[in-house]
Amino acid sequence: MRDLTPKIAVKLAEAAYEIKDKKGGHYKAPALDLLGQDFDFNLANNVVQGTSGSFMEHIFKHKTGFALIGTGKKNGSYSGHTVIALRGTANKRDAVTDMHCGLSTSANNLPAHAGFNKTFNSIRPVLNSYFTQNNTGPVHCVGHSLGGALANLTANWLHNKQSGRPISLYTFGAPRVGYASFADKTSNSLHRVFRCLHTADPVPLLPFWPFVHTEGEYTLNAAPTISANAHKMAGNAPGYISTASAFKSFAAVNKRNAHWHKEQVRLDYEKRHQASFTSKWAHRLGAALITLLKDTGYLYEIQHMITSGLTFYDKIAILLTKVANMPGKFAEQQRGMLGHMLVFSGKPGVVITEMSYKFIRWVLSVTLDKVALVAGHALSMGK
Amino acid sequence: MFGFFKKYDAHLCSAVSGLILDNGKPVVDLKIERLLVDFDSKERKDSTITDQNGAFALPAVNIRSRSPASLFRELLTHQEIYLKRDHTSFTLWSTTLWGVEPIAAYDRKLSKLNADLKNPLVFFQFANDYVSHIKHGARSICRWDTDFEIHHIIEDETI
């Protein structure tokens, strides 16, 4: 089965933003003018509307365009294929959903991010009626940012509904959607997963572990220092439209195994100044935390707690307070990790003398906030 | 949770000027309309009238926005400039502006919206000053002497 090219995939992600609002009574998406050679889009019928955001939004049923569906042109390269592109957050209402870090059962029967599920559920009835009628041929699900998370849920849902169909997923700068079991099921169920990112983009670092990505990662740009601009579609800093369009095929993109949370990382306090505000160190610090919890026998306990988000890290702070009082090397390993976290967070001047609950919780908080704030959201775990 | 209600400048459209002809003759006293749909789904409309030479102009549109500038938002504005004559709509410009900064390449095109109503509507591409391997694109019945590549003729504007 033919895959989409990076250029076509990113153009679809771009078009998904353009169908948010009607203009003069019609949907218009200039990005589709370039995709018209390969696909037919009927914007009058195939724009899927959804609701996102607050309780009040749901009451008033304010709807905006969330997804557009196209079909491969007859006798063209993608004849018989369906493409669905989903929009990320381009509306102030949508931003509200982004940091709801709870879990709810998703379409593949495994828990996933409750906010993403809620938005997906608002468009699911329309998707259901479309795909019930159009139930053959390969499907390519595409999206940037929150749109990537929705594309992921769409692909999983469709696989559950029509498991015989080859379904591929293409995401750009997408956040994590679920825990390891969800990510593994996604990889195993789908035909291909092209999870693309810029190394400097903070959004793929969110939500934090125990949220996990699918394993393969396509690096479109490898500049290391985390920066908000690296999440953007447009522009040249570096801009997903620009970087993805430069590749003729996904085979040409640097692909790597990104299951960093399976790596063993133990950090030496004296070497803490090697840490930097990069995604590499965000991953290493996550891995160091998991390694420490594993070494001290707490990993099983933490992974089986029915909590998530901030409460989850609060529980971790309680466990780490116990580690601080353990005999042997574990307290030193923990000091190494916390020291690196402080340097990562831009607080190299803080010297660790005692590891109280209050102090540990504060270090975790400033570390998580450092990434979350670049993404535009304070987590407000501290206090 | 949101600390992003600081005001900032947002550019929605370049200054526009152009000339409308019909089969080579100036079209006088014709209303030229502009519709901008910004990132808050807000519609802004303004218009002008062509003079005795068929010429018209509209000012640049810049706003002070309080809209949250979070990373999770892509700020884009849909730009539509058109005229209606005998119940037929003619598109002088239809595209999306990504971001809230002026784009010089857009300024150059919008300062020369010269059209003959007999021209077919096309999707065309023009150079991106910052990223050479991707081009800007728009729909228009206008024609430019430089940096203007017709991609295809639009047969049915509703698609």
User: Does A382 have pLDDT greater than 80?
Assistant: no
Report chain B residues touching chain A, CB-CB < 8 A. 1-4, 35, 37, 39-41, 67-76, 78, 80, 94-96, 98-99, 123, 130-131, 133-134, 137-139, 151-152, 154, 158-159
Residues A248, A280: one domain? no
pLDDT number for residue A308: 55
Is the CA virtual torsion A24, A43, B150, A232 positive or negative? positive
Nearest by CB to B1, which of A31, A64, A377? Answer: A377
Most confident of A116-120, A247-251, A306-310: A247-251
Distance CA A83, CA A41 (A): 10
Residues of B in contact with A36 (CB under 8 A): 152
Residues A228, A367: one domain? no
Looking at the complex, report in whole angstroms how far the Cα of residue A363 sits from the nearest Cα belonging to chain B: 20
Q: Verify whether the Cβ–Cβ distance A28 to B80 is below 8 Å.
A: yes
Looking at the complex, report in whole angstroms how far the Cα of residue A33 sits from the nearest Cα belonging to chain B: 7
Confidence class for position A156, pLDDT limits 50, 70, 90: very high
The DSSP bridge partners found for residue B64 are B9
Residues A121, A134: one domain? yes
Pick from A380, A357, A297: nearest CA to A338: A357
Mean pLDDT of chain A: 88
User: Does A94 have pLDDT greater than 50?
Assistant: no
- Tell whether A338 is covered by a domain: yes
Q: Verify whether the Cβ–Cβ distance B35 to A235 is below 8 Å.
A: no
User: Does A149 have pLDDT greater than 80?
Assistant: yes
pLDDT tens for each residue of A39-71: 998 877 777 777 655 444 444 555 677 889 999
Confidence class for position A6, pLDDT limits 50, 70, 90: very high
- Tell whether A382 is covered by a domain: no
Residues A153, A169: one domain? yes
Q: Which residue of A has its CA nearest to B2?
A: A377
Nearest by CB to A23, which of B1, B2, B35? Answer: B35
Nearest by CB to A228, which of B3, B71, B96? Answer: B71
User: Does A137 have pLDDT greater than 90?
Assistant: yes
Q: In this structure, what are the phi and psi dihedrals at residue A226, rounded to the nearest 5 degrees?
A: -60, 130
Residues A45, A170: one domain? yes
Residues A108, A11: one domain? yes
pLDDT tens for each residue of A206-243: 888 888 999 999 999 999 999 989 999 998 899 999 99
Substitution target from B73, B103, B153 for chain A, most A beta carbons within 10 A: B73
Last residue of a domain, one of A243, A258, A273: A258
Confidence class for position B25, pLDDT limits 50, 70, 90: very high
pLDDT number for residue A13: 96
Helix axes A309-324, A357-374, angle to 10 degrees: 140
pLDDT tens for each residue of B88-129: 999 999 999 999 999 999 999 999 999 999 999 999 999 999
- Tell whether A1 is covered by a domain: no
Confidence class for position A91, pLDDT limits 50, 70, 90: very low
Number of neighbours of residue A19 by Cβ within 10 angstroms: 26
pLDDT number for residue A83: 97
Of residues A192 and A301, the one with the higher pLDDT is: A192
Residues of B in contact with A145 (CB under 8 A): 72, 74
Domain that holds residue A273: 263-374
Distance CA B58, CA B32 (A): 9
Residues A89, A37: one domain? yes
Q: Verify whether the Cβ–Cβ distance A64 to B151 is below 8 Å.
A: no
Domain residue extents for chain B: 8-153
How many structural domains compose chain A? 2
In terms of Cβ atoms closer than 10 Å to its own Cβ (0-12, 13-18, 19+), residue B42 is middle
Last residue of a domain, one of A236, A258, A280: A258
pLDDT, average across residues B6-13? 86
Confidence class for position B67, pLDDT limits 50, 70, 90: confident
Q: Which residue of A has its CA nearest to B138?
A: A30
User: Does A383 have pLDDT greater than 50?
Assistant: no
How far CA A220 is from CA of A171, A185, A238, in Å, comes to 12, 25, 9
Residue A78 Cα to chain centre, angstroms? 27
- Tell whether A34 is covered by a domain: yes
Instruction: Give the three-class secondary structure for A372.
Output: helix
Substitution target from A5, A27, A28, A62 for chain B, most B beta carbons within 10 A: A28
Of residues A207 and A363, the one with the higher pLDDT is: A363
Looking at the complex, report in whole angstroms how far the Cα of residue B134 sits from the nearest Cα belonging to chain A: 7
Q: Verify whether the Cβ–Cβ distance B123 to A374 is below 8 Å.
A: no
pLDDT, average across residues A198-213? 91
User: Does A356 have pLDDT greater than 70?
Assistant: yes
pLDDT number for residue B1: 33
Distance CA A364, CA A208 (A): 11
pLDDT tens for each residue of A255-286: 998 888 889 999 999 999 999 999 999 999 99
Residues of A in contact with B152 (CB under 8 A): 33, 36
Of residues A99 and B61, the one with the higher pLDDT is: B61
Most confident of A58-62, A110-114, A125-129: A125-129
The pLDDT > 90 percentage for chain A reads 63
Is the CA virtual torsion A92, B71, A207, A191 positive or negative? positive
Residues A243, A288: one domain? no
Instruction: Give the three-class secondary structure for A179.
Output: coil
Residues A25, A66: one domain? yes
ipTM of the complex: 0.90
Residues A254, A270: one domain? no
* Helices assigned H by DSSP within A246-329: 279-295, 299-303, 309-324
Last residue of a domain, one of A239, A258, A277: A258
Substitution target from B66, B72, B92 for chain A, most A beta carbons within 10 A: B72
Distance CA A366, CA A346 (A): 9
Which segment of A58-72, B26-40, B54-68 scores lowest on mean pLDDT? A58-72
Q: Verify whether the Cβ–Cβ distance A33 to B71 is below 8 Å.
A: no
Q: Verify whether the Cβ–Cβ distance A235 to B98 is below 8 Å.
A: yes
User: Does A296 have pLDDT greater than 50?
Assistant: yes
Confidence class for position A302, pLDDT limits 50, 70, 90: confident
Fold type of domain B8-153: Immunoglobulin-like (2.60.40)
Who's near A200: CB < 8 A, 6+ residues apart?
A221, A223, A224, A225, A226, A227, A230, A278, A279
Residues A97, A230: one domain? yes
Tell me the CATH number at A162. Answer: 3.40.50.1820
Q: Verify whether the Cβ–Cβ distance A242 to B71 is below 8 Å.
A: no
The DSSP bridge partners found for residue B126 are B136
Residues A241, A299: one domain? no
